[in-house]
Amino acid sequence: MEPKKRGWLYWIVATLLLLVWISPILASLLTSLKTLEELNEGHYWTLPRHWSVQNYVEAFTVGKFSKYFWNSLVITVPTVIAVLFFSSLNGYVLAKLRFRWNNKLLLVFLAGMLLPFQILLIPVFYLSNQFLHTYDTRLGVVFFHVAFQLGFASFFMRNFVRTIPDGIIEAARIDGCSEWRIYSRMVIPLMKPALAALATLLFTWIWNDYLWSLILIQTDDLKPITSGLQNLKGQWIASYHLQSAGAVIAAIPPVLIFAFLQKHFIRGLTMGAGK
Amino acid sequence: MISFMQKRDHKTAWRFLAPSLVLYGAYVIFPIFFSIYLSITQWDGLTPAVLPLCYQSEESCLQNFIDLWNDEVFWMSLRNNFYWLIFFSLSAPVGLALALFFHVKSRFSSLYKSMFFMPMVFSLVVVGTIWSWFLQPNFGLVEYILSALGVLKEGEHFTLMASDRWATAGLIIAASWPHAAYCMVLYLAGLSNLQRNVIEAAEIEGVSRWQLLWHIILPMLRPATVIVVIVTMIGALRSFDLVSIMTAGGPANSSNVLALYMYQQTFENFRYGYGAAISVVLFAISLLLILLYLRQTLKDESGRS
Amino acid sequence: MKLYQWTTLLLSGIASLATAASGDLVINSMHSDPTSKKAFETILAEFKKENKDIKVTVNTIDHESYKVQIRTWLPNNPPDVATWFAGNRARFFVDKKLVEPLDDVFSNASGQFSQGALSAITFGGKKYLMPTNYYHWGFYYRKDLFKKAGINGAPKTWDELLSAAQKLKAAGITPIAIGTKQAWPSAAWFDFINMRVNGYDFHMKLLSGQGSYTSPEVKKTMATWAQLIKAGGFPDTAPAMTWQEASALMWQGKAAMYLMGNFIASEIPSAVKAQVDFFPFPTIDPKVPVAQVAPTDVYFIPSKAKNKANAKLFMSFLARADVQQRYNEVTGLLPVNSQAKIDTSNTFLKSGQQILGQASGLSQFFDRDADPEVAKVGMDGFVEFMRYPDKADAVLTRIETTRKRVHR
């Protein structure tokens, strides 16, 4: 669908809506500028007594963010690429090939999402520690994330590949195109919006994952940014001010990714399937 | 001819699927079966050897499930999960509304959409804390506003999150917020996939905007809706993070949910077997619901094509 | 880029991912907050100076995550030294033979640790844990609010506490602050009242699983506690606040007392600091000797550690009075080594050292002394009880059912 242009009234409503919508985030920005003493006194909603970005500096250094940033990128980027590749293959198979197992495999991919995944923590730990010997490496985390995200991603891609009219694919087959060629030259270009949306979601989830890296990585030097964030929490004292500052820092990459990729959600349609 | 084509498709299918199935089998399917096995043991998560409860013993292999049946916290959590299932799904239409609202052509719309996406990105620990401050008695934002409006009298407090009946409502509101952003992304992707010519044709015929949405856009968004419905169902049944951060299941387990209760039993109480049994029940419920929904969907799909 | 170029890039990426670090002494720590971390870094620098040839690696995560993670590495590939809690929570690992005994380390430091402190780290006659610090619990209160309500001095008996609560209530002040969003602050009340009513030995026997929660003694504990609840001693909004959020009630002058551990002392805002003082938990039955709650942090060597010699060296280092002194100068907690000195200008620390020194016994805390599952059911029950004090029997029956199943 082609987006429309809108007038000024629209933008006023949109801005008001936005302010309400992100009020929790504005509140955490406010929190990130305060001292813990102010927060402990119960002053959550007043303006900070002294304006200072000290909390950001402290969160960055105490949380060892510069090192963890790199680890998070090293874990997230290969995972997203691998999942996009494999899940689009799966999506194509499940949606467009005449294949007896289609619906059963779709259910298998869905089933992986149904169990509360926390119960898998220890079995997956034993798997990577005893059998695959990838414990305490970033690669082990990547492998796991790729496998685990495949369930949702394949289901997602299957549903979007279905929207491609069968006619185009049949025509290509009759022209003698190999299935690989149909996949890489026809399906992938048509799937750009869906892939961009999926990439955004995947990037966000893997970037924000804490539990799996907690179980699969022991050494500090290999941990992702979420553990830096988590480490700002004390045994008794919650450092709300540092945690908020850290959360703002940690949220920057996924938001940038979204801002960059969301254009493709829309641009993709101009080459849409309405030929 | 057809059988030749099908054979070719089969071969391609397996070749395309193979790497995924190997990874998925090792990291997801095998641990799922292992967890199901654990539900008939009394594993503590530490000792290496795990034997079934009934192995050379008087005990029933289903002892964990019998205990579960008699566990009032389990029933409370199950009840709360059903509340989640019903009310959490309201975030789906909100997500659709946002996607339609922001599906506009403008330099700003990209910025606005990124801002609306923020809830999904922001650390849940911090989001959960801020939401509990919104809803907190004594110092919470809602209490300040209600007091200023005179709804709350002097000495009265906004006790939603301290109440053993209403705390779940606060949790669902907070959790719907990032989930609506998630649904928005899914619908934005769906909207970009719509076929322009159909909509244009409808517009030329002078269809009203409401009819356009209801009879043309929504049916065309169906693939996205199927995804939204399934992730929302799963999200409601597996709700965990915000419950753990905002109430930890309290007061006195009144806002607990199955996934969190499982986690507490498994990791705080060293009852891996019992936790696995809770997971199996949750798995069975989810599977049943998904199967019911999916069967209908697949039937509709094959009916159309 | 061609596909094979992508593949080589991917493969080289994979190779760089598959590296793990190692060291001559690996320490896993749950003390992640800035203060504890700084304290540990201070003494670690000293250890490195004394042992230049040992390469030390420290892995730190916050203590909630640590409790989950420990079960992955402890039985399989543990570090050389790890942090934990004293009491029953450690016994669980000791019983599973996952902890190395430290008797040889302690034989060099004999007489430097009190009997009370040693009892929390000794299991089956062997010493397994190195205690580095503990802290006391008691009442932190606002002197100005007490004066305003016409209360003379800190309560010494239960009756005085009750009447103080009534006077504060009459003056429009919430007598006692508490936040039970995390359930544990409620358990401190059970610990103290039970120890004051039934004595230390009864309490420890009960928590170790050998006593009944439905006994008349425990019912008496709950009845005593109910007096204070029914007198309106606690805010009814408690379940919606963490202990830290609830402390704001006291700093804003809306509540007058708080039963809390001494970690609260570092959080008192400077504006009210002069008005905040401490008194120990009052006596209830004068015939019962006074025991205290003193949760202890410890270090231990996992039995599968790779560098045990270095780990023992580090343990001997941690046992030293001068090391514990320097460590706790930063943490603001009490060193366990009795020869370590404390900052006597800190009145809270001074009273802490005094009451712990005079105590007839030291308990660790409800959720460290009791089995984890009993503790969870217990603490949830206490939160419910504080809201509905008439439900005492139902709550106790539920705890007793769990105890019977766990300790059968």
Q: Is the pLDDT of residue C9 over 80?
A: no
Q: Are C300 and C90 in contact (CB under 8 A)?
A: yes
Taking the complete model, does pTM exceed 0.95, yes or no? Answer: no
Residue C237 to residue B159, Cβ atoms within 8 A: yes
Average pLDDT for chain B: 87
Q: Which residues between 11 and 50 in chain A have a beta carbon less than 8 angstroms from any beta carbon of chain B?
A: 11, 14, 17-18, 21-22, 24-25, 27-28, 31, 42-45
Q: Is C91 part of the contact surface with chain B (CB cutoff 8 Å)?
A: no
Q: How far is C232 from chain A (nearest CA, A)?
A: 22
Q: Which residues of B touch A233 (CB under 8 A)?
A: 125
Chains that touch B (3 or more CB pairs under 8 A): A, C
Q: How far is B59 from chain A (nearest CA, A)?
A: 24
Residue A214 to residue C68, Cβ atoms within 8 A: yes
pLDDT for B56-99, tens place per residue? 778 888 999 999 999 999 999 999 999 999 999 999 999 999 98
Looking at residues B174-182, what average pLDDT do you find?
A: 93
pLDDT for A256-269, tens place per residue? 998 888 877 655 44
Q: Is A35 part of the contact surface with chain C (CB cutoff 8 Å)?
A: no
Nearest-by-CA chain B residue for A6: B104
> Which of the 8 DSSP states describes residue C389?
G
Query: Encoding tokens for residue C62?
Result: 């916050």
ipTM, 2 dp? 0.86
Alpha-carbon span B99 to B188, nearest angstrom: 5
Q: Which residues of B touch C74 (CB under 8 A)?
A: 46
pLDDT for A88-110, tens place per residue? 999 999 998 887 888 889 989 98
Alpha-carbon span A84 to B77, nearest angstrom: 36
Query: Encoding tokens for residue B86?
Result: 């019903």
Residue B138 to residue C237, Cβ atoms within 8 A: yes
Nearest by CB to residue B250, choosing from C236, C254, C383, is C383
Residue A143 to residue B27, Cβ atoms within 8 A: yes
pLDDT for C35-73, tens place per residue? 888 899 999 999 999 998 899 999 988 888 898 889 889
Q: Which residues of A touch B207 (CB under 8 A)?
A: none
Q: Is A164 part of the contact surface with chain B (CB cutoff 8 Å)?
A: no
Alpha-carbon span B259 to B238, nearest angstrom: 6
Looking at residues C121-133, what average pLDDT do you find?
A: 93
- Calculate the dihedral angle through the C-alpha atoms of C233, C239, C242, C246, rounding to the nearest 10 degrees: -30
Compute CA distances C180 → A221, B252, C261, C396, whole Å. Answer: 36, 10, 15, 19
List the single range of A215-219, A231-235, C170-174 with lowest mean pLDDT: A231-235
Q: Is C33 part of the contact surface with chain A (CB cutoff 8 Å)?
A: yes
Alpha-carbon span C17 to C13, nearest angstrom: 6
Nearest one of A105, A83, A79 to A94, comparing CA atoms: A105
Q: Are C102 and C226 in contact (CB under 8 A)?
A: no
Q: What is the pLDDT of residue C304?
A: 93
Place of tokens 């209490």: B143
pLDDT for B222-265, tens place per residue? 888 998 999 999 999 989 989 998 998 989 899 999 999 999 99
Candidates A84, A115, A155, A164, partner chain B, best to mutate (most B CBs within 10 A): A115
Pairs of residues, one from chain B and one from chain C, whose beta carbons lie less than 8 Å apart: 85
Q: How far is A230 from chain C (nearest CA, A)?
A: 6
Residue B35 to residue A123, Cβ atoms within 8 A: yes
CA angle B20, B22, B26 (to 5 degrees): 115
- Calculate the dihedral angle through the C-alpha atoms of A72, A73, A78, A83, rounding to the nearest 10 degrees: 60
pLDDT for B126-145, tens place per residue? 889 899 999 988 889 999 89
Nearest-by-CA chain A residue for C185: A236
Q: Is C345 part of the contact surface with chain A (CB cutoff 8 Å)?
A: no
